[in-house]
Structure 1
Amino acid sequence: MFEKLKRKYLKRQIDENLKGRDLTLRNSSLKRLGFLVDENILLDIETLYDFSKELQIHRKDVKIYSFREVKKKLPTLVQNQINNKDFTWRGDIDNQNATEFLDIPFDVLIGFYSGKNEFLDVMVSKSKAKFKVGFKGGDERLYDLLMDIDPNNIEGFKLELIKYLTILNKIN
């Protein structure tokens, strides 16, 4: 029952966050890049750092935050990770690192997950990112660009993203 209530409040959080989104800086060029990653889709985070080199972005200007539906029982050194237990029953994020990540004004934030995921959708909606990229099947209200490609196809994703960022004058 609490899970159903939590998901209802998550949806309400998304609606509230979308009302306050500032779209005035949407066309800025790419200098800071953020990724919100579902660990069920991509386990090798280093691939995204390598991709940022192709975009000519320094590693210090790339931040990656991952989501895991259920927390592992084993201790982990991963700091930039959130799970469903880090959300209160009212849909608020109870993770200081995640809150700091969402306050960074990324030039581009990529929601690296397919379909709808209420937890990641709330994070995308709370993010202060100027331009947001997602995958087909995601909530269209959250993103400025939805790509019709399978997130598991990393090479295809890279080519498509570079193509669109070039067309939008975010990269040269």
Structure 2
Amino acid sequence: MILKGFKEKSIKKYLNKMLSERKVYVDDSKVESLGIILNIDEVDDFELFRSLATYLHVRPNKLKVIAYSPSKSEKPNFWEICFNSKDIGWNGTIKNIELQTFLDTTFDVLISYYTSDEIELKLLTALSKATFKIGILQKDPRLNDLIIKTNLEEFKVFKKEIFKYLTILNKVSDE
């Protein structure tokens, strides 16, 4: 139990260092790829994100979703990647190859769709090489470039707000 506390503290220290060095750069390139990080205990409907990708004119093969499960056992599901805290080591090192591949992918937009204050979710958001990060209101505003304040249950509102702001930023065309 003590080691778990030290591990979490090392991850927090690494996360704070990364977030303090983060540079925000927004251009007007169009959204062609979409990455999504979510907590499987909060949201478990994959079709919501497929409809979002279609709404943003993102091809299905350019949509990648990873789900975090706070419990130790992985739930049977059809997520592309499901991970838990065992996949993250000391100082934020990633032990899961699939998870590392997701983080190394340069998405045009990354959506952090979770409200829980899990250090692992925050770390993944920070480690992602996405060019533009969107999230629901969280305790640390340094994680995302655009924060949309909605409840998890209000996905339609979230979807419309994303489209509205991405249109304003000239990242999607209003077709």
TM-score of the two chains, using structure 2 as the length reference: 0.88
Q: Percent identity?
A: 31
* Farther-moved stretch of structure 1 (161-170 vs 10-19): 10-19
Residue 131 of structure 2 corresponds to which residue in structure 1?
A: 130
Correspondence for 1:86: 87
Q: What is the CA–CA distance in structure 2 between the aligned matches of 1:52 and 1:73, rounded to whole Å?
A: 25
Equivalent residue, structure 2, for 1:108: 109
The aligned residue for residue 156 of structure 2 is: 155
Matching residue of 1:4: 5
User: For the structure 1 residues 78 and 52, does the alpha-carbon distance in structure 2 shift closer, same or farther, using more than 3 Å as the test?
Assistant: closer
**Quick one: distance in 2 between partners of 1:69 and 1:118?**
11
CA distance in 1, matches of 2:11, 2:119: 6
Q: Greater CA deviation, 15-24 or 65-74?
A: 15-24
Q: Distance in 2 between matches of 1:63 and 1:74?
A: 18
The CA deviation at 1:94 is: 0.8
- Structure 1 gaps of 5+ residues are none
In 1, Cα distance between equivalents of 2:155 and 2:94: 29
Cα distance in 2 for partners of 1:45, 1:87 equals 24
Aligned length: 172
Which residue does the alignment assign to 2:61? 60
Asked whether 1:47 is paired with 2:48, we answer yes
SS in 1 for 2:123: helix
Deviation at 1:44, TM superposition (A): 1.1
Deviations 1:104-140 (A, max 9, x none): 1111100010143210111111110000011112411
CA 1:106–1:83 in 2, change beyond 3 Å: closer, same or farther? same
| CA-CA distance at 1:19 after TM superposition | 4.9
CA distance in 2, matches of 1:73, 1:126: 22
Gaps of 5+ in 2: none
Residue 16 of structure 1: CA displacement?
3.0
CA-CA distance at 1:90 after TM superposition: 3.3
Distance 1:76 1:32, change over 3 A: closer
Q: Which residue of structure 2 aligns with residue 71 of structure 1?
A: 72
For residues 29-40 of structure 1, the aligned pairs below 5 Å read 29-40=30-41
Query: Displacement, 1:73?
Result: 6.3
CA distance 1:158–1:76, change in 2 (3 Å): closer
Q: TM-score normalised to the size of structure 1? A: 0.90
